[in-house]
Amino acid sequence: MRIKSLIARQMPFFVGSIALLWQVLFFYVPLVFIGMLSVLQFSSTGAWTGFTLAHYAPFIKTTYGIILAKSLALALANVAICFCVGFPVAYFLSFKAKGFKNFFFFLLILPFWTNFLLHVYAWFFVLERNGFLNTFLQKVGLIGAPFHFLNSLGAILLVMVYCYLPFMVLPIYSILEKVDRKIVEASYDLGATTWQTWIRVILPLAFSGVRSGFFLVFVPSFGEFAIPGLMGGEKQMFAGSVIAHYILGNQTLASGAAFTVVSCVVLIVFILVAAALVRKFFKIV
């Protein structure tokens, strides 16, 4: 009995230690390595010669500032569309689906069963000049000649919304499932319209789910490079595209690490400012 009770008491510490070890090994250690790599200086023979900030110098240019601003704008647009589409979907699943909830929930998580890149490639064949969408529009007579859907911001944003929408729906749904239905009924009994109930009751109660969905969508969208690379071509450059170009293309690891650090700093500052504005606007403690 003593052994069982000891195991029961130590189990949370053991599980937490595993999670902490995982986070240290696969998050903090690589982050420190990237930070060190961005300031190390090597000779032509590969020998370490000291520290330098020269790898950061190219990123002071306005061009890279525009790229970071475009990445932030793209991520915000993705978050906004995912929220506008995802919140009603989560509300429907939680409040209206009833007997069909499991079926709709299955459709929602079905994309997780296949590889992320397969989704992107599938959209490539849908949106290309001779793809399914152009062929369908021509068959029904809506267009005379094929459109150039690829290599555009619209194509990038469309595929990003498709890929990241479940990450917005699931956190909101998990919170809405815990909402006491009597609170919503009381709002209607007191004369509130459906829109007023959504804005003043349901949305504030689901705020923690919206916040989680924001981070799950915004952070990877800011550094996304696979979707812009396949849907936008070489002309559409974002933060993830620049990092991939330096590390995978030119194989200049130090410059890629430096831009990664710059991108992380910009991302963290933006998130902190956005969180402060949200708390001030909604007066959420």
Per-residue confidence (pLDDT) for residue 283, from 0 to 100: 59
Per-residue confidence (pLDDT) for residue 119, from 0 to 100: 84
Please provide the average confidence, as pLDDT, over all residues in the chain.
85
> Does 86 fall in a domain?
yes
Pairwise CA distance, residues 130 & 132, whole Å:
7
> Does 173 fall in a domain?
yes
Q: Is the pLDDT of residue 26 over 50?
A: yes
pLDDT digits (tens, 9 = 90+) for 96-145: 877 777 888 888 888 888 888 888 888 888 888 888 888 888 888 777 77
> Does 31 fall in a domain?
no
> Does 27 fall in a domain?
no
CB 116 within 8 A of CB 167: no
Pairwise CA distance, residues 238 & 251, whole Å:
18
Q: Which of 74-83, 107-116, 237-246 has the highest mean pLDDT?
A: 74-83
pLDDT digits (tens, 9 = 90+) for 205-222: 888 899 899 999 999 999
Give the mean model confidence (pLDDT) for residues 89-99: 85
> Does 24 fall in a domain?
no
Domain total of the chain? 1
Per-residue confidence (pLDDT) for residue 8, from 0 to 100: 63
> Where in the sequence is the domain holding 116, given as residue range(s)?
60-283
Give the mean model confidence (pLDDT) for residues 181-195: 86
Q: Is the pLDDT of residue 257 over 70?
A: yes
Q: Which of 148-152, 172-176, 278-282 has the highest mean pLDDT?
A: 172-176
The gap from C-alpha 220 to its chain's centroid, in whole angstroms, comes to: 4
Q: For tokens 């993705």, what's the residue?
A: 78
Q: Is the pLDDT of residue 84 over 90?
A: yes
Per-residue confidence (pLDDT) for residue 100, from 0 to 100: 79
Per-residue confidence (pLDDT) for residue 285, from 0 to 100: 40
> Does 39 fall in a domain?
no
Q: What percentage of the chain exceeds 70 in pLDDT?
A: 91
Instruction: Write the CATH number for 81.
Output: 1.10.3720.10
Band of residue 203 on the pLDDT scale cut at 50, 70, 90: confident
* Token digits of residue 165: 């929408």
At residue 41, the 3 state secondary structure works out as strand
Per-residue confidence (pLDDT) for residue 265, from 0 to 100: 92
> Does 163 fall in a domain?
yes
> Does 273 fall in a domain?
yes
